[in-house]
């Protein structure tokens, strides 16, 4: 909708550099807590130069959120209604956890946004996201009705998958503080634990 086609190579490169730096800063401090100077320094560019590529601080934030929703919803879209129920759900959990591991900054950006009222993305939540969840919930309910998985509230099932997987990205600091240093990656342990958890929950 608000697509800005990159005319030259250098434009594309700098836009990406700026968005990368903005992601770093926004995800750590939230929108209001982030400053253009921080982003400029992280990007290695001057502040006026940022504003040559983006009309405002808010435009950078919007660009990030817009690009994020697709990535974020992809694993849920990939859930196959024709597949084996338990495999599909466990696969979704696994993919979502990988997303948290590989894109923690995106996860925190999203968390910051929701936490602070989600005023910039509430329409998307109530529209696109709700629709997708409703569809998936119907599929899961169908599986339960057919006895292929144990009966569960499909909405809370989805919420629990989000909560559990995103926790390891958003609360990474706390997880590592509690586990202590040196141990192997929290995500490995989480992967096994979550597979067990949802298997026991859903096996009829």
CB of 108 to DNA, least distance (A): 18
CB of 144 to a second copy, least distance (A): 12
CB of 199 to DNA, least distance (A): 46
At how many degrees (to 10) do helices 154-170 and 186-202 cross? 170
Of 121, 104, 109, the residue nearest 167 (C-alpha): 104
Residue 28 binding partner per list DNA, a second copy, none, with a CB distance cut-off of 5 to 8 Å that depends on partner kind: a second copy
Q: How far apart are CA 85 and CA 87, in angstroms?
A: 5
Site size with DNA, rule: CB under 7 A? 21
CB 118, CB 125: distance < 8 Å: yes
Other CB atoms within 10 A of residue 130 CB? 11
177 forms part of the interface with a second copy (CB under 8 A):
yes
CA angle 139, 140, 144 (to 5 degrees): 120
138 forms part of the interface with a second copy (CB under 8 A):
no
Of 4-12, 68-76, 90-98, 173-181: span binding DNA (CB under 7 A): 4-12
* Site residues, DNA (CB under 7 A): 7-8, 10-11, 14, 34-38, 45-49, 51-52, 55-58
């Amino acid at each position: 909708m608000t697509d800005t086609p990159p005319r030259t190579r250098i434009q594309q490169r700098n836009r990406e550099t700026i968005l990368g730096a903005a992601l770093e800063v926004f995800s750590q401090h939230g929108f209001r807590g982030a400053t253009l100077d921080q982003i400029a320094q992280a990007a290695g560019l001057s502040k006026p130069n940022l504003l040559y590529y983006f009309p405002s601080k808010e435009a950078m934030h919007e660009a990030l959120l817009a690009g994020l929703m697709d990535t974020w919803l992809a694993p849920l879209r990939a859930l196959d209604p024709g597949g084996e129920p338990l495999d599909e759900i466990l696969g979704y959990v696994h993919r979502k956890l990988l997303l948290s591991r590989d894109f923690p900054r995106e996860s925190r950006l999203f968390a910051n946004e929701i936490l602070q009222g989600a005023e910039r993305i509430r329409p998307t939540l109530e529209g696109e996201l709700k629709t997708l969840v409703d569809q998936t919930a119907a599929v899961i309910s169908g599986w339960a009705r057919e006895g292929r998985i144990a009966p569960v509230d499909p909405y809370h099932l989805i919420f629990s998958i989000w909560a559990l997987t995103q926790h390891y990205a958003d609360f990474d600091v706390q997880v590592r503080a509690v586990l202590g240093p040196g141990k192997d990656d929290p995500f490995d342990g989480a992967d096994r634990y979550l597979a067990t958890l949802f298997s026991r929950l859903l096996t009829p």
